Amino acid sequence: MASGIQFGPIHANAVHLCVDMQRLFAEDTAWRTPWMPRVLPVVMRLCERKAERTCFTRFIPARTPGEGQGTWRRYWERWASITIENLGADRVELLPELQTFVPPARVLDKVCYSPWIGTGLARTLFSSGVDTLVVTGAETDMCVLAAVLGAVDLGFRVVVVADAICSSSDQSHDALLGLYHHRFGQQVETAECAEVLEAWD
State the Cα–Cα distance between residues 144 and 17, nearest whole angstrom.
Answer: 9
pLDDT in tens, the chain (201 residues): 457 999 999 999 999 999 999 999 999 999 999 989 999 999 999 999 999 999 999 999 999 998 999 999 999 999 999 999 999 999 999 999 999 999 999 999 999 999 999 999 999 999 999 999 999 999 999 999 999 999 999 999 999 999 999 988 888 888 988 898 889 889 999 999 999 999 997
Angle value at C-alpha 22, between 2 and 34, nearest 5 degrees: 60
State the Cα–Cα distance between residues 64 and 201, nearest whole angstrom.
Answer: 45
For the chain, domains (ranges, CATH) are 15-62+91-199 (3.40.50.850)
State the Cα–Cα distance between residues 122 and 103, nearest whole angstrom.
Answer: 20
SS3 content of the chain, % helix, strand, coil (to 5): 40, 20, 35
- For residue 32, how many other CB atoms are within 10 A of its CB? 12
